[in-house]
Structure 1
Amino acid sequence: MAKPDPALLDPARYPFSCTIETRFSDLDVNMHINHVALAGMVEDGRVRFHQKIGYSDLLVNQSSMVANLQVDFLGEGQYPAAIAVHSAVGEVGRTSHRIINLVTQDGRLIALAQTTIVAVGPDGPSPLPDRFRQAIPQWMLRA
């Protein structure tokens, strides 16, 4: 497995962060946060990020769907410590954009997730509106 780009592993590059509490039920038989539970926490962080940026208002008369989700597990998560999900927009294409989520716990790297989200209109994928393109630069991964 290729190692993630080190530039993506710096929480300071992400314009949004939220804290998500872990639960005992998130643990696997090895007493680590289960991969599936962690993917759910990434989803929770992504939804909170979209709420912060007013995502649904930016996609006028469109919905969206996840087209791809890649998670690189970088370390073990523990209970009961909360995790931090750091979020940024990566690339923006014609009909899709990528959300990057860095997951940390007590300053340790836990996971890096990259999600491609496609804008969808009545006939399938549709171009991202200008309103979206104008609002997104402040939420992009920082240099």
Structure 2
Amino acid sequence: MLATRFSDQDPNFHINNVAMIGLFQEARLRFTAALDVDGAIRRATTVAASLKTEFIQEALYPTDLTMGVGFVRMGRTSWTVIQGAFCDDQCLAVCEVTVVRLVDGAPDEAPAGWRSQHAAFSIRGIDAQP
């Protein structure tokens, strides 16, 4: 659950699209931190190589958003997550992000422990675009 902030509003009193992307980032980073039990992800750099967001319904302030996060693809050096922002059981926006793990500025293989987490939090039936 993430709370929206007064400063997230646009002039029309909706949650600004850029603010929504920031909320998706916060949820994704909390998800990553919770699954990074051996610290292998924190010891490397991760970058968002691709980000696609679809805004479905208006989000208004104040509201608490339930953020869903799950894996849809695991590659050798990258993975793709899909996220949804929900309020009162209504999906307000979805976001698909491909993240690349870098060591010394070059793509590096995802650690085995991270790969095992992928299996546990994989969302089936969604074809993410690499």
* Matched length: 125
Matched, 1:96 2:78: yes
* SS of aligned partner of 1:31: coil
TM-score, L = length of structure 1: 0.79
Per the alignment, residue 65 of structure 1 pairs with 47
CA drift of 1:131 comes to 2.5
Q: 1:139 aligns with which of 121, 124, 127?
A: 121
Structure 1 residues 140, 76: CA separation in 2 closer, same or farther (over 3 Å shift)?
same
* SS of aligned partner of 2:95: strand
TM-score, L = length of structure 2: 0.87
CA drift of 1:129 comes to 2.2
Matched, 1:121 2:103: yes
CA drift of 1:55 comes to 6.4
* SS of aligned partner of 1:76: coil
**Is there any run of 5+ residues in structure 1 with no aligned partner, and where?**
1-18
Percent identical across equivalent pairs? 28
**Is there any run of 5+ residues in structure 2 with no aligned partner, and where?**
126-130
Structure 1 residues 45, 60: CA separation in 2 closer, same or farther (over 3 Å shift)?
closer
1:81–1:106 CA contact under 8 A, matched in 2: no
Aligned-partner residue type, residue 41 of structure 1 = L
C-alpha RMSD over aligned residues = 1.8
Q: Give a deviation string over 1:14-53, Cα, whole Å, max 9, x none.
A: xxxxx11112221111111100111111011101111111
